[in-house]
Amino acid sequence: MTIEIQTLEDKILEIFRSVTQVPSLTADDDFFNSGGDSLLAVEAGFQISQIIDQEVDPMVIFVFTTASACAVAVSEQYLTA
The pTM of the full predicted model, rounded to 2 decimals, is 0.94
Q: Tell me the H-state helices in the chain.
A: 5-20, 38-52, 59-63, 67-78
**CATH class of the structural domain 26-81:** mainly alpha
Beta carbons within 10 angstroms of residue 5's beta carbon: 14
Give tens-digit pLDDT for 34-78: 999 999 999 999 999 999 999 999 999 999 999 999 999 999 999
| Structure confidence at residue 3 (pLDDT) | 85
- Give burial (CB, 10 Å; 0-12/13-18/19+) of 47: middle
The CB-side HSE value for 26 (13 A sphere, CA atoms) comes to: 2
Instruction: Give the closest residue to 44 by CA, choosing from 16, 8, 13, 77.
Output: 16
Taking only the tens place, the pLDDT of each residue in 1-21 is 678 999 999 999 999 999 999
